[in-house]
Amino acid sequence: MSELDNRWSLPAGTSRTSAGRRLRTVSLKRLKVRENMLAYAFLAPSLLLFGVFMFYPLLRSVYLSLYSTDPAGRVASFVGLQNFTALFSSGLFLDGIRVTALFALLTVPAGMLLALVLAALTHNLLRGKRLFQFAFSLPMVLSVGSAAVIWKFLFHPSLGMLNYGLEMAGLAPVPWLTSPKWALFSISLMTVWMNLGFNYIVISSGMQGIPDDMYESAKIDGAGPVAMFRQITIPLLSPTLFFVMVVSIIGAFQSFGQINILTQGGPMDSTNVFVYSIYREAFVNFRFGTGSAQALLLFVVIMLLTLVQFKWVEKKVHYQ
């Protein structure tokens, strides 16, 4: 028995047990610290990229939104919240949100419905299924710039294939990109086609995850194709549809490339969505303060929309 054990009047066996527990606790703590260091070492490249390309631009936007800039784009003076009040008083924020919301309404429901119909039609095909899947997924491999150039030729008022088809059908040609009434619809048409590949692949993959025995049981009970689609496919596909809807709405509010190439916000600002307005303020007019304030407001709008969808729309989602 040691002197320490005699001082505290503890049995020798109890002292050895406590020492063993302390050693195990220290070893576990060291092992945990080592695992955490290893995890952070693997995460370091991702954290570095996030810091450089996401967190720093966000903090820089917050900084610039509180300052005015000179015609060369350099920071001139501190103006506080004047950039935000100017956006609301000039109507620039409301006009941009109105055009962007209309653009989202034209693209998101149509894109999801078209992809859902095509996925349902090709889901049970026995022959040619791969060919249809390849054809419907093809727009996804094209860049926004390439797709916009292709549609720019299609929308051409005199040489475009769309107006040629209308003339062959005896209809009047349409000013696709030159009329304020048609320009946003034309951009939406091209965007629905461009997003079709992603929506089709995700929804088609969700359909393949539905068990076949549920359809077999429904057939035995006498259910028809429409009833099975409404009562089995749609409820079990709701998590996939919810994901596609959230991603599509965020993508609609961030659309820029096709608008920059096809219309540049015109005619008469009919296609001046919020992101293009940010680009024009910051990199054409060199008002980085106003552009940064718009970017922060867009961030808040997208975050609120996403929270609303997860708060209200997700309640309609059926998880197995």
Q: Which residues contact 233 (CB under 8 A, 6 or more apart)?
A: 120, 207, 210
Token pair of 183 as six digits: 């320009």
Q: What is the pLDDT of residue 300?
A: 93
pLDDT tops 80 at residue 124? no
Domains and CATH numbers, the chain: 30-79 (no CATH), 87-143+184-316 (1.10.3720.10)
Among 127, 138, 117, 131, CA closest to 237: 117
Q: Quick one: 107 exposed, middle or buried, by C-beta within 10 A (0-12, 13-18, 19+)?
A: buried
In tens, the pLDDT along 189-246 reads 999 999 999 999 999 999 988 888 888 888 888 888 888 888 888 999 999 999 999 9
* Interval 167-190 mean pLDDT: 92
- Write the DSSP string, 106-156: HHHHHHHHHHHHHHHHHHT-SSSHHHHHHHHHGGGGS-HHHHHHHHHHHT-
Q: What is the pLDDT of residue 14?
A: 60
* Interval 10-22 mean pLDDT: 67
* Interval 129-137 mean pLDDT: 82
Whether the bond into 139 is cis, omega within 30 of 0: no
pLDDT tops 60 at residue 7? no
Among 67, 107, 124, 138, CA closest to 291: 67
- Pick from 14-28, 133-147, 164-178, 232-246: least confident: 14-28
Handedness of CA 72, 77, 82, 83 (dihedral sign): positive
In tens, the pLDDT along 282-293 reads 888 888 999 999
Say if residues 71 and 275 touch (Cβ distance below 8 Å): no
Q: What is the pLDDT of residue 279?
A: 92
In tens, the pLDDT along 152-161 reads 999 988 888 9
* Interval 6-34 mean pLDDT: 73
pLDDT tops 80 at residue 72? no
* Interval 302-319 mean pLDDT: 84
Confidence bin at 54 (pLDDT 50/70/90): confident
Q: What is the pLDDT of residue 192?
A: 94
Q: What is the pLDDT of residue 4?
A: 46
Q: What is the pLDDT of residue 13?
A: 56
pLDDT tops 80 at residue 90? yes
Helix (H) or strand (E) holding 91, with range, is: none
pLDDT tops 80 at residue 118? yes
Token pair of 109 as six digits: 């429901």
* Interval 78-101 mean pLDDT: 89
Q: What is the pLDDT of residue 285?
A: 86
In tens, the pLDDT along 257-274 reads 999 999 998 898 899 999
Q: Find where tokens 């955490």 sit.
A: 36
Q: Taking all residues of the chain, what is their mean pLDDT, rounded to a whole number? A: 87
Q: Find where tokens 């259910």 sit.
A: 223
Confidence bin at 1 (pLDDT 50/70/90): very low
pLDDT tops 50 at residue 42? yes
pLDDT tops 80 at residue 52? yes
